[in-house]
């Protein structure tokens, strides 16, 4: 099985070049210790390391594992173990799995713990086990109940990794890379890099090489080798892709180039307006945000979930309907906002004419009374408009001290006077192939421009400084030591911080009256007038909230019982 697949991919010329390269490399090893230009980065030189062939991997009795165990990526606060499922294996439940901890160089586990969570995207037959962080010097692996111990997954650092890849319409592979340290917002020199395809990048003779078409920020575009394209099954245990620095090392990779089911050009796009968002532990705000935006014409929501541990899956299940077509996508990667947006734009491209990139505390508001779709159609009359920029109004706590029961759009009505930066709505067909985006703006193809919308036509109400109980969560995330919050755009800098708060998360006495310069009840009035249930006098998210809660409690009980 495996051998056949390899033959599929490795051509004779590739083998020749690999051998040649191997010789060259060993020569270089002896003559130089500097493989990397010092101003770029220092990845591990994976294919020159000894390859201790793992027992589990060569043992036929563990065939099952070979196909289901994948690699481990250690994040600062947890370890992720990725599993791929053969078509025949059902997804594992949390109860099926233990996280095992191994001392260095030992194949005997020292201890085990239950996983934090098991997560997955069923259609990709991919599962992810979240394990508590291993102690320093230990590695983590998992054991599936009723099966032998699963060892042999490679352990990777999250900040030096090729973590995601997909095959685009033109058959190029879009590769998401962490750790190259390339300059922001610039096209880098593609000829300094190379794409490699294979199963194990430490075994140089089994990799296929191809050229990098473009590389910028943290995304590379590779020419996909024909043999990879013709591999009929691109999901389970398919070939991986990585990036090599010419004259340097190959990055570790867990990325298998998927041909997303949605990457075909449909005759007609089903949705005029979609939204991509990235969030963490904000499930409680989703209902109002989705129902309101459905009311103004949004038809599809893509939620990139960055390691939430609230009830987001239950909440999404309770919102989901024909009218509220919302899906959750696992995106555990750190400091990857731009990459996540690009990934989402590609995902949305086949079904959406326009894609907005906003957070769940941001709401499009149309003071003019025009509908969102009218505004988009007006802009689209000029075919060279590829991006529409919308200003944001930042709302303060508006005198409140507790979360408003009718939701943020009704509760918060006082804001700062000046608008802060823009968010954008883009036509995903006209993105520049580099997929560069900075502070919510994409680079477009030559010949396309952006338009700034007048605030009187459309604006974003950003409920940025909510009651302290809510704001402090955001604040804690922001002062986390290991990395800045993704929502805190590097380029927006200090504007995004709450002025005068320093680093102590203690409620200032006058918090509830801060950031209040202008009373703005426009959106509140529209919401109350158009969305209140005449009989119950409740807003849809208030009713839904109750029903949803009951359902989610019932579901939970079933799981545990």
Ligand X SMILES: *[C@@H]1O[C@H](CO)[C@@H](O)[C@H](O)[C@H]1NC(C)=O
Please, which residue, 455 or 478, has the CB nearer to ligand X? 478
Q: Binding to ligand X by residue 37, rule CB under 6 A?
A: no
Distance, in Å, from the CA atom of 436 to the CA atom of 438, rounded to the nearest integer, reads 7
For residue 497 the two structure tokens come to 């911080």
The footprint of ligand X on this chain (CB under 6 A) covers a number of residues equal to 51
Q: Binding to ligand X by residue 2, rule CB under 6 A?
A: no
Alpha carbon 442 to its chain's center? 17
The CB-of-213 to ligand X minimum distance in angstroms stands at 11
Cβ(264)–Cβ(236) under 8 Å?
A: no
Among 30, 34, 104, 146, binds ligand X (CB under 6 A): 104
Distance, in Å, from the CA atom of 169 to the CA atom of 178, rounded to the nearest integer, reads 23
Among 19, 58, 384, 491, binds ligand X (CB under 6 A): 384
Reference 246, options 279, 210, 278, 284; nearest CA is 210
Piece of 112-120, 147-155, 248-256, 444-452 that binds ligand X (CB under 6 A): 444-452
Dihedral class, residue 438 (left if φ above 0, else alpha if ψ from -120 to 50, else beta) = beta
Please, which residue, 64 or 192, has the CB nearer to ligand X? 192
Q: Binding to ligand X by residue 310, rule CB under 6 A?
A: no
Please, which residue, 196 or 215, has the CB nearer to ligand X? 215
CB atoms within 10 A of CB 207: 28
187: which strand partners? 216
Among 139, 250, 394, 434, binds ligand X (CB under 6 A): 434
Q: Binding to ligand X by residue 309, rule CB under 6 A?
A: no
Sign of the Cα torsion 240, 264, 440, 212 reads positive
Piece of 62-70, 90-98, 328-336, 388-396 that binds ligand X (CB under 6 A): 328-336
The CB-of-498 to ligand X minimum distance in angstroms stands at 18
Q: Which residues contact 248 (CB under 8 A, 6 or more apart)?
A: 35, 36, 37, 43, 45
Reference 408, options 292, 308, 257, 275; nearest CA is 292
**Interface map 238-277 toward ligand X (x if CB under 6 A):** --------------------------------x-------
Among 58, 189, 491, 533, binds ligand X (CB under 6 A): 189
Among 433, 513, 532, 552, binds ligand X (CB under 6 A): 433
Reference 420, options 317, 355, 498; nearest CA is 498
Piece of 17-25, 224-232, 355-363, 453-461 that binds ligand X (CB under 6 A): 224-232
The CB-of-86 to ligand X minimum distance in angstroms stands at 9
Query: In this structure, what are the phi and psi dihedrals at residue 35, rounded to the nearest 5 degrees?
Result: -95, -20
Q: Binding to ligand X by residue 62, rule CB under 6 A?
A: no
Please, which residue, 68 or 336, has the CB nearer to ligand X? 336
Cβ(52)–Cβ(63) under 8 Å?
A: no
Distance, in Å, from the CA atom of 520 to the CA atom of 456, rounded to the nearest integer, reads 13
Distance, in Å, from the CA atom of 32 to the CA atom of 49, rounded to the nearest integer, reads 16
The CB-of-478 to ligand X minimum distance in angstroms stands at 10
Q: Binding to ligand X by residue 229, rule CB under 6 A?
A: yes
Among 242, 250, 282, 336, binds ligand X (CB under 6 A): 336
Q: Binding to ligand X by residue 111, rule CB under 6 A?
A: no
Distance, in Å, from the CA atom of 333 to the CA atom of 73, rounded to the nearest integer, reads 10
Q: Looking only at residues 68 through 87 of this chain, which bind ligand X when binding is defined by CB under 6 A?
A: 77, 87
Q: Binding to ligand X by residue 38, rule CB under 6 A?
A: no
Distance, in Å, from the CA atom of 97 to the CA atom of 112, rounded to the nearest integer, reads 10
For residue 505 the two structure tokens come to 């998360």
Among 94, 154, 192, 497, binds ligand X (CB under 6 A): 192
Please, which residue, 252 or 277, has the CB nearer to ligand X? 277
For residue 305 the two structure tokens come to 């979930």
Among 57, 334, 373, 403, binds ligand X (CB under 6 A): 334
Q: How many angstroms separate the Cα of 24 from the Cα of each of 18, 30, 192, 517?
A: 10, 10, 17, 67
Strands 459-462 and 385-394: parallel
Residues forming contacts to ligand X in the complex (CB under 6 A) are 77, 87, 104-105, 170-171, 187, 189, 191-192, 229-230, 232-233, 270, 278, 280, 300, 306-307, 322, 325, 333-337, 340, 351, 369, 382, 384-385, 432-434, 443, 445-446, 449, 483, 485-486, 516-519, 525-526, 529-530
């Amino acid at each position: 099985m495996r051998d056949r697949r390899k033959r599929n991919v490795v051509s004779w010329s590739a083998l020749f070049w690999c051998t040649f390269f191997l010789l060259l490399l060993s020569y270089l090893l002896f003559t130089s210790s500097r493989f990397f230009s010092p101003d770029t980065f220092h990845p591990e030189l994976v294919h020159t390391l000894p390859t201790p062939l793992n027992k589990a991997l060569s043992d036929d009795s563990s065939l099952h594992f070979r196909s289901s165990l994948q690699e481990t990526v250690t994040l600062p606060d947890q370890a992720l173990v990725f599993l791929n499922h053969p078509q025949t294996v059902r997804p594992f439940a949390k109860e099926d799995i233990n996280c095992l901890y191994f001392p260095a160089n030992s194949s005997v586990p020292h201890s085990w713990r239950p996983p934090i969570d098991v997560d997955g995207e069923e259609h990709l037959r991919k599962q992810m086990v979240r394990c508590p962080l291993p102690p320093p010097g230990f590695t983590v692996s998992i054991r599936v109940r009723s099966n032998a111990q699963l060892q042999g997954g490679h352990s990777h650092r999250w900040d030096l990794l090729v973590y995601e890849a997909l095959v685009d319409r033109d058959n190029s592979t879009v590769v998401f890379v962490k750790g190259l340290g390339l300059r922001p917002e610039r096209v880098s020199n593609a000829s300094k890099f190379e794409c490699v395809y294979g199963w194990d990048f430490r075994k140089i003779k089994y990799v296929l090489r191809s050229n990098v078409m473009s590389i910028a920020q943290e995304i590379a575009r590779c020419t996909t080798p024909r043999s990879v394209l013709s591999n009929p099954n691109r999901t389970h245990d398919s070939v991986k892709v990585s990036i090599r620095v010419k004259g340097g090392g190959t990055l570790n990779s867990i990325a298998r180039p998927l041909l997303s089911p949605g990457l075909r050009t449909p005759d007609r796009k089903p949705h005029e307006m979609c939204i991509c968002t990235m969030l963490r532990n904000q499930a409680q705000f989703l209902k109002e945000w989705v129902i309101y935006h459905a009311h103004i014409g949004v038809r599809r929501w893509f939620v990139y979930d960055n390691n939430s541990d609230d009830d987001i899956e239950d909440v999404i299940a309770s919102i989901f309907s024909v009218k509220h077509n919302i899906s959750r996508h696992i995106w555990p990667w750190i400091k990857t906002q731009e990459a996540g947006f690009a990934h989402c734009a590609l995902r949305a491209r086949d079904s959406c004419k326009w894609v907005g990139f906003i957070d769940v505390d941001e709401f499009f508001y149309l003071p003019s009374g025009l509908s969102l779709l009218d505004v988009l159609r007006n802009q689209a009359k000029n075919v060279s408009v590829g991006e529409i920029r919308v200003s944001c109004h930042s709302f303060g706590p508006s005198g409140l001290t507790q979360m408003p029961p009718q939701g943020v759009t009704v509760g918060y009505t006082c804001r700062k006077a000046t608008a802060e930066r823009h968010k954008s709505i883009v036509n995903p067909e006209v993105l520049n192939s580099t997929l560069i985006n900075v502070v919510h703006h994409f680079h477009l193809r030559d010949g396309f421009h952006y338009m700034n919308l007048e605030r009187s036509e459309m604006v974003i109400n950003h409920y940025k400084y909510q009651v302290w109980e809510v704001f402090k969560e955001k604040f804690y995330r922001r002062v986390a030591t290991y990395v800045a919050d993704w929502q805190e755009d590097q380029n927006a800098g200090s504007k995004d911080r709450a002025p005068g708060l320093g680093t102590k998360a203690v409620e200032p006495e006058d918090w509830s009256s801060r950031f209040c310069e202008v009373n703005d009840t426009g959106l509140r009035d529209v919401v109350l007038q158009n969305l209140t249930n005449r009989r119950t006098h409740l807003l849809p998210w208030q009713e839904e909230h109750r029903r949803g809660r009951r359902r989610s409690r019932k579901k939970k009980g079933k799981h545990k019982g």
